[in-house]
Amino acid sequence: MKIKDFHIASLQALKGVLINMGNYVPNTLEEQEAMLGLIGMKSSEDLFVQVPKGVRLNREFDIPSSKSEMEVSRIMTSMAEKNKIFKTIFRGAGAYRHYIPSIVKQITSKEEFITSYTPYQAEISQGVLQSIFEYQTMICELTGMDVSNASVYDGATAAAEAIIMSVERKRNKAIISETVDSQILETIKTYCKSLDIEVVVAGASNGVTDLANLEKLLDEETACLLLQQPNFYGQLEDAEKIGRLVAEKGAKYIISSNPISLGILKTPAEYGADIAVGEGQPFGIPLSFGGPYLGFMATKEKLMRKLPGRIVGETTDNQGRRAFVLTLQAREQHIRREKASSNICSNQALCAMTAAVYLDAMGERGLKQAAELSMAKAHYLARLLCEIDGFNIIYKGEFFNEFVTSSPINVDKLMKILEDRGILGGYPLANDKILWCATEVNTKEEIHKLIDILKEVAV
């Protein structure tokens, strides 16, 4: 869409007036001229004397002219309307639709939280700092770890940073299970390539990590093993056995979890993990076409100083009052510069706060409920699906809220049929397989509606 400049003629006529009301610059042209005079300049050109002629842009930008708020609203809204919102979603694969309580949306819309900066000035940032401290606590509770950071960009970069944390002088090999989300693996490869960390993929069989093969790969040069639990195919891995194999070789065990599942599933700590990471988007963050999301990272105390990113600590002020402050900053880039273990500066603070409020609202009872419901709906869906000819469960192990089936017809065709009926079906995999997902949001009616359509299609 080319945004039409149909009003440019009138714009130029109004140029003087429009600049005076110019988009978030409060000072009028007159006020600006007075300020220039006060500092001894004749025109705004004088402000840029340092910029040599050879680099000056001597034309206008080739982008549309400025617009009123009403027009901008219309343009952006019409773009939003070109996206189809599905009321019924059976797709996960790294982004999950869960119920977002109204209190979460309301609290995270507060101006103070939205417009504040990184809390470097502790005295006026106790609100943000305390919220992050509470978030860190809850991530530790969920994962069973001792210390969490204030968040990183997403689950994939969290996994990559965890791998970098595990590398030691004599241990330079990172093993990643084939059942980890391929987007995470690709991100890890990009990060590891430049640091000469060897990335080895441990093969799978029957939709879970092949233990015999893994045992062969683990050795004294292995820095870590990364496992996703539940894995990309929704299957629950034998994470305890894998943990023992990893510990035997002295490597670090990294588990990437779906955080909702931690309401009922064993924690990474219970499996013997050293580092827990994951994608926190299910905690109150909408699907958002992929971002901004939330990477969480938590670890044992012994690895605390290797944890990247910001961390909030509790202390007291000069009058003994409880105070929160960014701490252990000497790990970070603004102090260590090229010796920092990570370059990360910004985190996903507002998303971390979203997760914190979500967990506050849900409590352990609500989180457990969301997890149980997600699992129940997915199992119900699976049972009904495999009663239809052509939809067979491919991986037969226990699963949380995702599972893979075959398809009686071409998957692209199938998805289009569902789309036309307002349903976002499971995620198409290679060879006409489908990765289905259900959460607490899917009702029994929705599931039956899907099943009825599929029955027609399968015939």
Partner 1 sequence: MKLIFEKGSTGRGCDLLPPSDVPVINLEDKFKRQSKLNLPNVSETELSRHYTELMKKTFGVNDGFYPLGSCTMKYNPKINDDMAKLPGFTDIHPLQSEETTQGALEVMALAEEYLCEITGMDNMSFQPAAGAHGEFTGLQLIKAYHEKRGDSKRDKIIVPDSAHGTNPASAAMVGYKVINVPSTNEGYVDVDALRDAVGEDTAGFMLTNPNTLGLFEANILEITNIIHQAGGLNYYDGANLNAIMGIARPGDMGFDVVHLNLHKTFSTPHGGGGPGSGPVGCKLLLSDYLPSPRVIKGAEGSYHLSYDNPDSIGRVKAFYGNFLVVVRALTYILSLGKEGLKHASINAVLNANYMMHQLKDTYHIPFSDHCMHEFIISLEDLKKEKGVSALDVAKAMLDYGMHPPTMYFPLNVPEALMVEPTETESKETLDEAVRVYKKIYEEVTSNPELAHGYPRNTVIGRPDEVGAARNPVLRYVYNK
Partner 2 sequence: MNNEILYTDTHEWVQFLDETTVRIGLTDFAQSELGDLVFVNLPEEGDELTAGETFADVESVKAVSDVYSPVTGEVSKVNEDLLDHPELINSDPMEAWLIEVENVSDKENMLTEEEYKKLIS
125-164 footprint of partner 1 as x/- string (CB under 8 A): xxxx-xxxxx-xxx-xxx-x-xxx-xx-xxxxx-------
CB of 305 to partner 2, least distance (A): 7
Cα 47 versus chain centre, distance? 42
Query: What are the φ and ψ backbone dihedral angles of 350, each rounded to 5 degrees?
Result: -65, -35
Nearer to partner 2, 74 or 305 (CB): 305
Non-local (6+) Cβ contacts of 359 within 8 A are 138, 283, 367
Overall size of the chain counted in residues: 459
Binding site partner of 225, from partner 2, partner 1, none, Cβ cut-off 5-8 A by kind: none
What are 77's two structure tokens?
A: 């809204």
Tell me whether residue 393 is exposed, middle or buried, using C-beta atoms within 10 angstroms of its C-beta: 0 to 12, 13 to 18, 19 or more: middle
Nearer to partner 2, 195 or 335 (CB): 335
Nearer to partner 2, 125 or 261 (CB): 125
DSSP 201-222: EEPEETTEE-HHHHHHH--TTE
Binds partner 2 (CB under 8 A): choice among 52, 339, 431, 459: 339
Binds partner 2 (CB under 8 A): choice among 51, 72, 330, 409: 330
Using CB under 8 A as the binding rule, the residues of this chain from 329 to 388 that contact partner 1 are 329-330, 332-340, 342-351, 353, 357, 359-370, 372-373, 375-377, 379-380
Binding site partner of 144, from partner 2, partner 1, none, Cβ cut-off 5-8 A by kind: partner 1
What are 387's two structure tokens?
A: 């009663």
Q: Binding of partner 1 at residue 324 (CB under 8 A)?
A: yes
* Choices 63-71, 168-176, 214-222, 249-257; region in contact with partner 1 by CB under 8 A: 63-71
Binds partner 1 (CB under 8 A): choice among 63, 212, 430, 459: 63
Asked if 305 contacts 113 with a C-beta cutoff of 8 angstroms, the reply is: no
Alpha-carbon distance of 222 to 225, in angstroms, equals 8
What are 456's two structure tokens?
A: 């027609």
Binding site partner of 369, from partner 1, partner 2, none, Cβ cut-off 5-8 A by kind: partner 1
Half-sphere exposure of 339 (CA within 13 A, CB side): 5
Asked if 185 contacts 176 with a C-beta cutoff of 8 angstroms, the reply is: yes
Half-sphere exposure of 85 (CA within 13 A, CB side): 8
Alpha-carbon distance of 182 to 187, in angstroms, equals 9
Binding site partner of 190, from partner 1, partner 2, none, Cβ cut-off 5-8 A by kind: partner 1
Nearer to partner 2, 321 or 339 (CB): 339
Asked if 435 contacts 442 with a C-beta cutoff of 8 angstroms, the reply is: no
Nearer to partner 1, 182 or 220 (CB): 182
Asked if 387 contacts 53 with a C-beta cutoff of 8 angstroms, the reply is: no
* Choices 190-198, 205-213, 248-256, 403-411; region in contact with partner 1 by CB under 8 A: 190-198
Using CB under 8 A as the binding rule, the residues of this chain from 287 to 306 that contact partner 2 are 305
Using CB under 8 A as the binding rule, the residues of this chain from 348 to 407 that contact partner 2 are none
252-291 footprint of partner 1 as x/- string (CB under 8 A): ----------xxxxxx-xx--------x------xxxxxx
Binds partner 2 (CB under 8 A): choice among 20, 126, 137, 329: 329
Identity of the amino acid at 191: Y
Other Cβ atoms closer than 10 A to 285: 25
Alpha-carbon distance of 329 to 317, in angstroms, equals 18
Query: What torsion do the CA atoms of 183, 185, 189, 195 make, to the nearest 10 degrees?
Result: 120
* Choices 49-57, 129-137, 334-342, 413-421; region in contact with partner 2 by CB under 8 A: 334-342
Binding site partner of 360, from partner 1, partner 2, none, Cβ cut-off 5-8 A by kind: partner 1
CB of 455 to partner 1, least distance (A): 18
Nearer to partner 2, 8 or 335 (CB): 335
> Quick one: which H or E segment has residue 278?
strand 275-279
Binding site partner of 256, from partner 1, partner 2, none, Cβ cut-off 5-8 A by kind: none
Footprint on this chain of partner 2 (rule: CB under 8 A): 305, 329-330, 335-336, 339
